[in-house]
Amino acid sequence: MTGWPSLVPALAILWLAACSGDPVPDSGAAAGDGSLPADDGGAPGDAALADTAATAPPVSLPPARAGCDGAKLLELPDFTKPGPWPVGARTIQAAGFTTEVWYPAVPGSQIGKESVRYDLREFLPDNEKGKIPDDKNPWQVCSCVRDLPPDMERGPYPVIAFVHGTAAFRTQSLTFMTHWASRGFIVISSDHPGLWLKDALNLNISGKPAENLAKILDELVKLEGETAFLKGVADIHRIAVTGHSAGGNAIAGMASREGVRVVMPMAAGGVTPGRENVQVLILGAQDDGIVAWKRQSDGFSTSPKPKRLVGLKNAGHLAFSDLCLIGADQGGILKIARDHGVNVNSLIASLARDGCKQGQLEPQKGFDIILFAASSLMEPVLHCAGDAPLRALAGIRDRFPDVSEYREEL
């Protein structure tokens, strides 16, 4: 997006009240609920990860199944449910951009570990960071555990790259990131200078997220330096790219990139033609006051086939993020920010409510639709899971009454 609407995903603005972080004990759930221990100055080395993997307790797993080109995977539950892998998380530098990586970890390695809780105050301008005290900070808790050993017994796993919207940050859609990682994907998301919250609050809107993403993927495919821990784990020849709002616009041209098999903009526009048979899924909210539904509908019309369009009924711009949930028990992130004197531009604040208003689609209902649609497409294409999921996607309106529209042209 450009101009003021682009600030709307001031999503992040809601995040203003951003989080801080203390560890929360893990319940030992198979999907790896987890929270961020204090930073010890660096990630463990390969030997330490190997030791952790060797001592992971045995757990009950679903049956194995074959993926693409001999990949070893596990049977998965319904598309709306987390998968059988615990989720590891690691923060790295990729092409100079702070990047979060969520990945399938060794089953059982999360037991007894602490969940990650992201401190979103790091995304605020320096003069705003100290305004929200720890005891009032709305933590962003992740169903993941820091630096678990990647599951190398199975895999390799396809890659999903996400680009955040204006005034947001790399964890803005954390629910999606960890869900996909638990189902056998490596998910990466970076902070984009000029697009993220810190710059938007200072009205310094600029940046080139499309170019950034290309550089990040170039770095990833080398599997060297800080991405080396994914060697033998990541399938760099099977990639999906997705993004929200301005991030969705940033991925519009990625169908031409070698290795990209799926392009999935959310609350953005369409996709420009590229390599043949790249799958396109356009997701939008029919009551979006920032990027009107017509943008998605028109974008679908001009996008290359095979393509699909899913619209959410009675939903707004932030339906594709976690922002409406953070701090909800304290009146929402925007209220928390204002209560503690964080400087929030009034126009941005009003735009940032889009999708969080009373009476709009409940966040979890929207998540279920989005995750069902995305997994129904990505798993057949990137996991070679057969055609049944695509047939299920064609019937999405029968399953979810809050889907306002579904179209496909194959």
The answer to whether residue 179 scores a pLDDT higher than 70 is yes
**What is the rounded average pLDDT of the residues 189-200?**
87
Tell me the pTM.
0.86
Give the closest residue to 393 by CA, choosing from 372, 410, 366, 409: 372
129 phi/psi in degrees, rounded to 5: -60, -35
The answer to whether residue 175 scores a pLDDT higher than 90 is yes
**Chain centroid to CA 116: how far?**
15
**What is the rounded average pLDDT of the residues 358-368?**
95
Most confidently modeled range among 21-25, 28-32, 150-154, 322-326? 150-154
Domain of 153, CATH number, reads 3.40.50.1820
CA atoms of 152 and 72, how far apart (whole Å): 10
pLDDT (tens digit per residue) in 227-284: 999 999 999 999 999 999 999 999 999 999 999 999 999 999 999 999 999 999 999 9
CA atoms of 399 and 405, how far apart (whole Å): 13
C-alpha distances in Å from residue 241, one per residue of 33, 161, 380: 25, 5, 15
- Over the range 327-347, which residues count as b (16 or more CB within 10 Å of their CB) and which as e? beeeebbbebbbebebebbee
| Structure confidence at residue 73 as a pLDDT band (50, 70, 90) | very high
Q: In the 3-class helix/strand/coil scheme, how is the chain assigned residue by residue?
A: CCHHHHHCCCHHHHHCCCCCCCCEECCCCCCCCECCCCCCCCCCCHHHHHHHHHHCCCCCCCCEEECHHHCEEECCCCCCCCCCCCEEEEEEEECCEEEEEEEEECCCCCCCCEEEEECHHHHCCCCCHHHCCHHHCCCEEEEEEECCCECCCCECEEEEEEECCCCECCCCCHHHHHHHHHCCCEEEEECCCCCEHHHHHCCCCCCCHHHHHHHHHHHHHHCCHHHHHHCCCEEEEEEEEEEECHHHHHCCCHHHCCCEEEEEEECCCCCCCCCCCCEEEEEEECCCCCCCHHHHHHHHHHCCCCEEEEEECCCCHHHHCCCCCCCHHHCCHHHHHHHCCCCCCHHHHHHCCCCCCCCCCCHHHHHHHHHHHHHHHHHHHHHCCCCHHHHHHHCHHHHCCCEEEEEEEC
Percent of the chain with pLDDT over 70: 84
**What is the rounded average pLDDT of the residues 198-207?**
76
The answer to whether residue 81 scores a pLDDT higher than 60 is yes
Look-up of token digits 């790219």: 241
The strand pairing partners of 266, in sequence order, are 244, 283
**What is the rounded average pLDDT of the residues 117-125?**
86
Cβ proximity of 329 and 3 under 8 Å: no
Most confidently modeled range among 49-53, 141-145, 352-356? 141-145
Supply the pLDDT for residue 51: 54
Nearest 10 degrees: Cα torsion 162, 163, 167, 172: 0
Supply the pLDDT for residue 265: 98
Domain that holds residue 65: 3-409
How is the beta sheet containing 140-146 ordered, strand by strand? Answer: 24-25, 114-118, 140-146, 87-94, 97-104, 186-190, 157-163, 234-244, 260-266, 279-285, 307-312, 403-409
CA atoms of 15 and 399, how far apart (whole Å): 32
Look-up of token digits 């969080």: 356
Number of domains in the chain: 1
CA atoms of 256 and 342, how far apart (whole Å): 42
| Structure confidence at residue 139 as a pLDDT band (50, 70, 90) | confident
CA atoms of 258 and 334, how far apart (whole Å): 41
| Structure confidence at residue 44 as a pLDDT band (50, 70, 90) | low
Q: Which residue has the higher pLDDT, 160 or 122?
A: 160
